[in-house]
């Protein structure tokens, strides 16, 4: 019988994970699965638990959001132990690429009956991400979401944060080098995606594939408030790449960004706290084993 380690982050999903733990344990037990719970108590605790569990369990299961997944990412790279995710965070973007349902019972069934796949990860200045790294406006929206003190989650949370950020973020001159080409742009946002969505459903890299050994890059040039609002629905439809006046979409294994000013950055929805203005972003091929509905 397979043994599962459940890592639960009680802070994820604005505190809703604590209420979900008994239900999740009961669902595993009702299906005859062997599962042991570990609850995180401090930042980086999930990484420690994952590292210590790799030799004793057949799979690691995260009950939480993209931030908790990012936390366990580094110890699980190349470990060839599968990672399962029960989405319970604010955005839950990475699971969309894994086709893991939001429904609790269906998510547990996916972990127990789904298939495994070895996928890529990404790295920016030595730090890892699995879904996306964002620079500029989308990272500013992500930061604004942390200041919203109510129970909203998912896309609604990030829409509220977007409205708070509109008109308050200015594009930044950057030099972007990838695929042997160097361009100087006034950049509103730049997202390097391994997954397809950020912010609970903003489809900035809708054609990204988890295992193509490439990152999908979407760059949006300086854009005024009215055209931004006009084209915003295309972000949800995954058709922003058609707006060639403002948006550029590329695939690459590596890119270098040199910013003239400090810029906000996020990794898998978590605030990047470095003070760098130069960012080296690259794909890490075949790095992580995951469970999903593939």
Greatest C-alpha distance within the chain = 58
Q: What is the CATH class of 127-285? A: mainly beta
Query: How far is the CA of 259 from the CAs of 19, 29, 103, 254, in angstroms?
Result: 43, 51, 41, 17
CA distance 249 to 290: 27
Q: Which helix (H) or strand (E) holds 63?
A: strand 59-64
Domain assignments of the chain as residue spans, ordered by start:
3-113, 127-285
Q: What is the DSSP letter of 240?
A: G
- Per-residue tens of pLDDT for the chain, all 294 residues: 899 999 998 877 667 788 899 999 999 999 999 999 999 998 899 999 999 999 999 999 999 999 999 999 999 999 989 999 999 988 899 999 999 999 999 999 999 999 999 999 999 999 999 999 999 999 999 888 888 766 666 777 888 888 889 888 999 999 999 999 999 999 999 999 999 999 888 999 999 999 999 999 999 999 999 999 999 999 999 999 999 999 999 999 999 999 999 999 999 999 998 889 999 999 999 999 999 999
Enter the pTM of the model.
0.94
CA distance 9 to 225: 38
Query: Which CATH architecture fits 3-113?
Result: 3-Layer(aba) Sandwich (3.40)
| CA dihedral for 272, 276, 281, 284, sign (positive or negative) | negative
């Amino acid at each position: 019988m397979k043994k599962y380690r459940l890592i639960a982050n009680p802070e994820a999903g604005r505190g809703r994970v604590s209420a979900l733990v008994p239900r999740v344990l009961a669902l595993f037990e009702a299906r005859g699965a062997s599962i042991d719970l570990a609850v995180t108590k401090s930042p980086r605790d999930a990484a420690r638990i994952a590292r210590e569990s790799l030799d004793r369990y057949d799979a690691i299961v995260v009950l939480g959001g993209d931030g908790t997944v990012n936390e366990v990412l580094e110890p699980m790279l190349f470990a060839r132990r599968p990672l399962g995710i029960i989405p319970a965070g604010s955005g839950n973007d990475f699971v969309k690429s894994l086709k893991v349902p939001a429904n609790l019972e269906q998510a547990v069934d996916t972990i127990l009956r789904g298939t495994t796949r070895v996928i890529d990860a990404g790295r920016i200045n030595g730090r890892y991400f699995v879904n996306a790294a964002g620079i500029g406006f989308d990272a500013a929206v992500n930061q604004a979401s942390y200041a919203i003190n109510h129970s909203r989650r998912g896309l609604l949370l990030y829409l509220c944060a977007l409205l708070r950020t509109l008109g308050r973020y200015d594009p930044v001159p950057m030099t972007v080098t990838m695929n042997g080409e160097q361009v100087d742009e006034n950049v509103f946002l730049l997202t390097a995606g391994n997954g397809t969505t950020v912010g609970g459903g903003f489809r900035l890299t809708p054609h990204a594939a988890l295992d193509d050994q490439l990152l999908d890059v979407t760059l949006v040039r300086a854009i005024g408030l009215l055209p931004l609002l006009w084209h915003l629905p295309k972000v949800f439809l995954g058709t922003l790449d058609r707006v060639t006046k403002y948006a550029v979409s590329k695939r690459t294994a590596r890119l270098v960004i040199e910013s003239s000013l400090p810029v906000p950055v996020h990794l898998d929805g978590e605030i990047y706290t470095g003070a760098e203005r130069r960012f080296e972003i690259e794909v890490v091929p075949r790095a992580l084993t995951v469970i999903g509905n593939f």
